[in-house]
Amino acid sequence: MPRVAFPLAFALLYAACGAPPASSAPKQPPADLTLAGLQPLQLKNLALPAPGLITSGQPTEAQFEALVQRGVRHVIQLRVVNEPGTGWEEAKAKALGVRFVRLPIAGGDGLTVDNAQRLAAELQQAGSDPVLLACASSNRVGALLALKAFHVDGVSAEQALALGKAAGLKALEPAVAARLQK
């Protein structure tokens, strides 16, 4: 083999097998992960309070599969495993190749700064991949997002409460408002 051919062959092999991707631009969520694209799934209390963050009540198995088909790769479930209608998600997520985390929030008692920090860590681990954050009705979702916004992200109590409401906070609002203090 001529001396010039070996370095050229090595460079081509490196380019084909080991070179980093040409573009390091952040991934954009698929187009159907918009509110309009998700509404046909009829998820209870569906909202998109932040880019790539889908919040809702408990999805059905069919809705879960449809979300994965649309690009959701991370699911964070706030329901306790023994609540009626839950407990199947771990196996379904494993079968579909989706990262699933259960962060059990049992009503107001689970609304802690520690759980808000755990939620922040899980959302950070997802990176730019779309995430479904769910509970039974999205009330706990909004509550924990509000606590995360205030205690982790450092937004004002008013802004945190507005985010929580946008994500489904309703009945737990008084408990959240009491915890939005430094």
Q: What is the pLDDT of residues 63-106, one digit of tens each?
A: 999 999 999 999 999 999 989 999 999 999 999 999 999 999 99
What is the three-state SS of 60-98? CHHHHHHHHHCCCCEEEECCCCCCCCCCCHHHHHHHHCC
* Band of pLDDT at residue 18, cut at 50, 70 and 90: very low
Mean pLDDT, the chain, whole residue set: 85
pLDDT, position 4: 44
- pLDDT over 50 at 1, yes or no: no
pTM: 0.81
In the chain the domains, ranked by start, together with CATH numbers, are: 30-179 (3.90.190.10)
For residue 53 the two structure tokens come to: 């963050």
CA 118 to mean position of chain CA atoms: 12
